[in-house]
Amino acid sequence: MSTTTQEPTGALVNGLLAKIKDRKVKLAIIGLGYVGIPLALVAVRRELQVVGFDVNLDRVKELNAGECSIAHIQVSEIRNARDLGLFEATADFSRLHDADAIIICVPTPLTKHQEPDLSYVEQTARTIAKSLRRGQLIVLESTTWPGTVDQVMRPILEETGLRSREDFFLAFSPEREDPGNEKFETAGIPKVVGGDGKHALEVANALYSVLVTRTVPVSSTATAEAVKLTENIFRAVNIALVNELKVIYSAMGVDVWEVIEAAKTKPFGFMPFYPGPGLGGHCIPIDPFYLTWKAKEYGVSTSFIELAGQINRHMPRHIIAELARALDRTASRGLNGSKVLVMGIAYKKNVDDMRESPSLVLIELLEGRGAHVEFHDPYIPIIPETREHANLAGRKSVPLTPEELKKYDAVLIATDHDNVNYEMLIRGSKLVVDTRNVCERTGTLADNVVKA
């Protein structure tokens, strides 16, 4: 097509802005998981037409049937979106051509060498490129290193002959989901937005202004990418700090949980973070290493971040050592041959998400010491296939009953789900090792409970 017959860039921008303003914009969301589905439901509430794309055919069929297997997603919202005719799931990626705006919510894991795995992002960019047309907005929400949109996505999309800033618009807006946290809902969380040029920022900011209550425009996609990393590195470093303090204070006979509760009464200069059995989830254990990896390109060390990672990765081993000591004191036996129930496989309470869960590491460490291990989790009946812990796939959650509890020499609380009868658990157990302080929080602390 001759450039003289094409719409000028300004007309493309104005046309897309008009569609957004009139709620006529056709929105595509790639990746129908913990980020993509909540975002789609917000868009439906704003009366936008949404098509969700996923390679998982079971997920596509499930959503189109008005169902959802993710625990914290309201099935009623899915069904309402379907009844209104505003949401559809598909695995036919050729339909991306019909979208005015495409939002990418795909995984960005680490390799076994702790390096960024951008294969999902790259594959998605190539898929979009097959049907890319002028005037489309493409936004990446997946967490990554600063420069990914410009250095990875843009070249792939421009292989089509179309140009960012002229023919299509690229942006980055990091997801800020916190599954299971009822205090914060997608639409109410401010959205950071960075664009590849002023036009991309304008249209991306306009789109998110429809979806959420507040946007935070920044100067570039790299800045927006850095914002997300900074948020999660902040958490990782502070969690590492309280994990280290827990070990130190425990040696001194001081309860770190009591210390934190007292410290957080200070109205300034302190923010409470809490120790645990290790880091889990799709963000905090992974994201800091995206910056560590990228910093090497610039000859810059990330000693502080790497030290925090070492501390957090060591916590499961510390917990196992504490459990072994508790068994020595209370049962005069070691881990070898002991029967242990791990309470909770999810990486955090009240969700069915077990990505990077420290519980999986705890099970493998326990079994490596000769223990016989089972688990209970009200949200995860069966451990699914994972890349790092394939040997645990297929294991089933056991019932949590007084009769079952008698079988175990110790119960290790790794996840503090709210819908667990802790009073019954403690009363029926010989030894409870609590890594989350849930027994004291629920007023069920007893002599057979050991904090770890």
Are β-strands 191-195 and 169-172 bridged in parallel, bridged antiparallel, or unpaired?
antiparallel
Q: Are strands 26-30 and 49-53 parallel, antiparallel or unpaired?
A: parallel
Active site residue 283: yes
Strand pairing category for 137-140 and 26-30: unpaired
Do 157 and 168 meet the contact criterion of CB atoms below 8 Å apart?
Answer: yes
Q: Are strands 169-172 and 137-140 parallel, antiparallel or unpaired?
A: parallel
Q: How many residues does the chain have?
A: 452
- CA torsion through residues 202, 205, 116, 271, sign: positive
Distance of alpha carbon 7 from alpha carbon 18, whole angstroms: 15
Measure the CA–CA gap between 54 and 46, rounded to whole angstroms: 22
CB distance 194 to 173 below 8 Å: yes
Picking from 164, 194, 63, 172, the residue whose alpha carbon sits closest to that of residue 108 is: 172
d(CA 290, CA 152) in angstroms, rounded, equals 14
Task: Cite the DSSP H helix spans in 142-220.
Answer: 148, 154-158, 198-211
User: For residue 293, what are the CA distances in angstroms to 178, 235, 289, 290, 311?
Assistant: 25, 19, 6, 5, 18
Ordered alpha helix ranges (H), 198-266 = 198-211, 221-251, 256-263
Of 68, 105, 283, 439, catalytic: 283
- C-alpha span between 47 and 87 (Å, rounded): 10
Task: Give the catalytic positions in this structure.
Answer: 283
